[in-house]
Structure 1
């Protein structure tokens, strides 16, 4: 049972400027296919319902105008995600609630609530139209959608600032973003798309996001697990990401994956070691054999 978290957090909104300143392989097992389908539907439902709770969610950010969706994203990414990871290590649960206040057409104040849980309870629509219940994972994916809009706003306002999430920044260095853009897209002046790709691809469950990239995500998981002593666990983690992106019909470009890897491995452009090269070769060869579905248990990393 999840323990009650801190006193509820009231969401009044953040302007984009405030935020930017603050941020100085043959066949997949049927169960996995069903799980992916359910996860995608669950996420789509969560987006729709959350937009009813947070009324400016999904709307274009405007300079000088406070955004509740932006403040929610900031709190989830910077406060809840790190705390949830710490709680998970000691096998505890917690829940947070966010209060969204607004005024109706009649001028009366309205209060809606978003509950976020660390437990693994499946998301479902609340019978109460004024509340939503989310897992930390779902809340984080919703936050990444708003983060994407912040990056687009920064580009529109000609603000030269790289906006990587902590998860993305732990893999890819801020100073390398222009070099990555030059290598991947042939344009180092506009890094907007690269920033969105990296943030989505480094997020757990990021395969559900439109901007995520299989090659970037694979490089990220290889880099983040490179120092693991238990090779079996590493294979399980990498395999899960491979399955997720393959079932999500995301294409793998092995040449670009090597480029991503050069930047992901400590930002020192070190080439992949022999073991990592073997992993890439086997994943890619198997993917070539069957372009739609993959059975990882037949792949020996």
Structure 2
């Protein structure tokens, strides 16, 4: 299976747990784990783990953080073919504190370029089995180009401002289903309406649609019906990238002959592995994060 994933890249900085309460000293220093994030990155990482042939086409800010992202991706540690395009003047940075409850503090805005800066590279997807694209504002020209090239799309419609606004989401999605093979939705705030929209997408020709419901599980729709599956019971350390990982594993399994329910199980298992990963556990000097048991947020 060959897939080309398009999207913005950002630097994820995970703060490790403190060795002692901050109140016991004036300054508290905690370890920091840095990795390249963004939907395209999570998708290609998961597909590479499954033996697929992913290509990552990423927009990278032109600031020092963007330079660090480029260095990290050129270090030889990446498991996908990579094409980086300068876009915008700064990069997104996410600070995740696994000591707390999994909340994410956004400390910088996304790059001020758009994913449409990747438009000249749309032809890299010619002949691929799929192209993955987060169909957020600023991606319409790239999406249209991929459709014109007749590349089946794995389309992510989980843009946060659309959560809980079913009428807005429906108006956006209904005009963007051409060429979509797999559609992924986030049902936060309006699960029933989002599932109905997923069913509508399948009725219009989409092969399969998934609605993620966080710790409440997920729903998959295909021409054979709509089915719900509970989430795996895991401890959530870092929820970022769960939906992208689920979409990648789901698409890979579906492509290789699994039915939609088995493909969803594969996606949920992959997402559970990601969100329960503890980047600091290998360090014996760092205590294990104090996180209460939660269900999978994929």
TM over 0.5: no
Higher helix share: 1
Structure number with the bigger relative contact order (C-alpha 8 A, sep ≥ 6) is 1
For this structure pair, what is the TM-score category when the shorter chain's length is used for normalisation? under 0.3
> More strand per residue: 1 or 2?
2
TM-score (norm 2): 0.24
Query: What's the TM-score once normalised by structure 1's chain length?
Result: 0.24
